[in-house]
Structure 1
Amino acid sequence: MEKLRIAVVGTGNIFRSVHLPAWLANPEVEIVAVCDAYRAGAQKIADDYGIKDVYEDYREVIARDDVDIVNVCTPNLYHSEVSIAALKAGKHVFCEKPDAINPEEAYKMAQAAKESGKVLMVMRNNRYRPVSTFLKKYVEQGHMGDVYTGRCGWLRRRGIPGKGGWFTTKELSGGGPLIDLGVHMIDLSLWIMGNPKPVAVSGSVYTKFANNDLSDSAHSAFGSKQADGTFDVEDLATGFIRFENGASLQIEFSWASNIENEGRFVELRGTKAGFSLFNEELKLFTEIEGTLCNVIPQLPKDSGGHKNNIDHFVDVVRGRAEPIFVPEQGVDMINILSAIYESAQTGREIRLD
């Protein structure tokens, strides 16, 4: 079987740490070109892994007839621009999250995918962890009954990524931890719930640690720090989402806040059972023979979410699988995040329907 040929646009930390190992582990793909405005970074990747071609302009990459897939790992602002151009050039696209920095751009991406007939998938690695697939089946089989409410979040004590760089510059990132971390755990919650239609949100955002340089999180190593750079995004966001079916979801995300330890979580509650997922630790709360019971499933701890996500994308491109993620879900996600920011600015609930 001929290998799928991949061109990478954006060779920063997220590509090096999670995308690159996943592509290298898949025997059906081959990275043929890397592109980055910071050429030295792309050149080092090329030298280290025997990749022949290095570019600074993504337009040159997508103009190549021999490229099947474009992997987009740029700062958030450019996700839609590069993805849309690649789709229009007849390439499949695998893009790092978030889908885009506003709903209009997310919608344009979805439309470009539809018109091109090519696969557009945005990283949703948390869907592909063993614990997540277990919970998805558990809910689909009706074991939780009517899932009607819950909460999710990702809280860091001190974990601001690339402070002063593009992560903390709203024009380039679209926002702070809400768009950076929220896309992960909100998506996982909605996916397990069966992707209910969001109809209204409310939220608040805070910037309290722009002048604090303490760090206790490995995640603060992402991005390039700039001592005299910009910090015009939030470092904590809270909110509430209501859905068409009457369900609701509380959310909370921080890069910096005075808590005990960093952690990501999803808790959902149903009429028959509920669960708490904190990091990779899952507990189920239910009734068995008239007795309240806590159940701890024995699941693999090695998540492999990024690799599983990319392997699934390859399966979809090959025509062996139906996509677990579709672009319309990305549009819904960016609509939610954008509306929470609007609610924080206006001080009122924002309707989405």
Structure 2
Amino acid sequence: MNEKTVPATLKVGVVGVGWAGQQHVKAFSAIDGVEIVAVAGMETELLESIQSEFNIPHGFARWEDLVELDGLDAVSVAVPTFLHAPITVAALERGLHVLSEKPLARNGEEGAAMVAAARKAGRVLDVVFNHRRRGDVTKLKSIIDEGALGRPYYAKASWLRRRGIPTLGSWFTNPELAGGGPLADIGVHVLDYALHLLGEPKVISVSASTYSELGSQGRGGDVNYIAASSSHKFEVEDFASAFIRLEGGVTLLVEAGWASYRDQADLMDFRVYGTDGGAELRAAQSHEISEAGLRIFTDDDNGTSIDYEAETLEDGNHPAVVEEFVNAIRAGENEWGSHDGSVALSRALVIDACYTSAREQREVRL
């Protein structure tokens, strides 16, 4: 890509053909002026199917071949976490913009290298934090920013599953490949939308605990899974909790669990208490139910409760993330520096501190 100009048609390559990669392909294909010219993945039949469905001319088994393809402007990275850093850095060094799935990397050190590469190349590095684009989160963000709740001082955010280990015995349960368990996988989403809702306060310290009680026994995932026959041991946590102190005396409690004895439905929630009001965001999902709601608690000038159910906005999710990435590229080089992955790096450093705290059983200051 030319240093100062943005082509009329952005040519994009997508690395990864799993669920996340498919979301990227669908989202890019829906944007005018974007052409997906290449896709890479090791699942040959799935790769060929995606190429055919979306009329993608180039298909590669190796991500290295995709990154080297002439004419690319940007690359999406939707592969296991241990590959995020090498693919992203290689693409940035080629002068390509990068959109990476979460988490940014296995740890803050790798994440810092990715951010440094983005700054050196002068290119966009965005990370897929799609849950902050949900309609209920977007609506609550506007309510908090308008000052309707006063000054928030305590918040609790969680994503909890009854039986939701992403594939027992796969790369997800190997710390060398994934970087961690649910704290790194779904907890980073919870941490991201919580800090986003609170206005990006600085994290002062964390005190965390992790547990591996069910996954280590072959529970919490596919009912047909047998721990002893797995190609990988279960070496990550299946539940984590973190007490996080924020600047200004604000406290945030984060919970992330792949498996625990609770309701069958996945629960994603956020509660916040402010000096003039509070809010409760709750989304539950299972095969049988799908429910979501946002309740606001406050008083009128006479002290009478005027609690209400807020009408939420339309969900954005992956399409909104991809559209924002494309818009950042199209905005030109003056905008690229503000999309360098630094927010995602700040999340990675907090996750690192949580794992250190849990391992050493102490509070960790950032």
Structure-1-length-normalised TM-score? 0.91
Alpha-carbon separation, structure 2, partners of 1:348 and 1:336: 14
Show the counterpart of 2:272.
268
User: In the alignment, what sits opposite 1:237?
Assistant: 240
Report what 2:30 is aligned to. Answer: 25
- Equivalent residues in 2 for 1:303-314 (5 A)? 303-314=315-326
Look up the equivalent residue of 1:332 and give its one-letter code. S
% identity of equivalent residues: 36
Which of 271, 285, 298 does residue 297 from structure 2 map onto?
285
CA displacement at 1:216 relative to structure 2: 8.6
Paired position in structure 2 for 1:340: 354
Shift of 1:103: 0.6
- Which of 179, 192, 207 pairs up with 1:202? 207
Name the amino acid aligned to 1:278.
R
**Alignment equivalent of 2:308, drawn from 269, 287, 295:** 295
| Cα offset, 1:267, TM superposition | 1.1
Deviations 1:227-252 (A, max 9, x none): 44331111100111111222110011
Checking the alignment, whether the CA contact within 8 Å between 1:161 and 1:167 is kept in structure 2 is yes
Q: Please say if residues 268 and 276 of structure 1, whose CA atoms lie closer than 8 Å, have aligned partners that are also in contact.
A: yes
For the Cα contact (< 8 Å) 1:202–1:239, is it kept in 2?
A: yes
Structure 1 partner of 2:146: 141
Which residue pairs with 1:53 in the alignment?
58
Structure-2-length-normalised TM-score: 0.88
Describe the SS at the equivalent of 2:59.
strand
Q: In the alignment, is residue 258 of structure 1 matched against residue 261 of structure 2? A: yes
Q: Does 1:328 align with 2:342?
A: yes
Opposite residue 232 of structure 1, the aligned amino acid is: E
SS at match of 2:149: coil
Q: Secondary structure at the match of 2:210?
A: strand
The count of residues paired between Structure 1 and Structure 2 equals 343
Deviation larger for 250-259 or 318-327 = 318-327
1:174 offset after TM fit, Å?
0.5
Q: 1:223 — aligned with what?
A: none
Task: For residue 95 of structure 1, report the CA deviation from its aligned partner.
Answer: 0.6
Query: Retained in 1: the 8 A contact 2:168–2:221?
Result: no
CA distance in 2, matches of 1:110, 1:276: 34
Query: Are the counterparts in 2 of residues 157 and 216 from structure 1 also a CA contact under 8 Å?
Result: no
User: Residue type of the partner of 2:114?
Assistant: M
Structure 1 distance, partners of 2:205, 2:220, is: 36
Counterpart of 2:151, as a letter, is D
Q: Is the 8 A contact 2:153 2:249 kept in 1?
A: yes
Deviates more, 1:325-334 or 1:157-166: 325-334
Equivalent residue in structure 1 for 2:135, among 118, 130, 134: 130
Amino acid at match of 1:265: D
List gaps (5 residues or longer) in structure 1. 221-225
What runs of 5+ residues in structure 2 fail to find an aligned partner? 1-6, 284-291
Which residue is 2:249 aligned to? 246
Aligned-pair Cα RMSD in Å: 2.2
Once residues 318 and 283 of structure 1 are traced to their aligned partners in structure 2, the CA distance between those partners, rounded to angstroms, is 37
Partner of 2:15: 9
The structural deviation recorded for 1:340 is 0.7
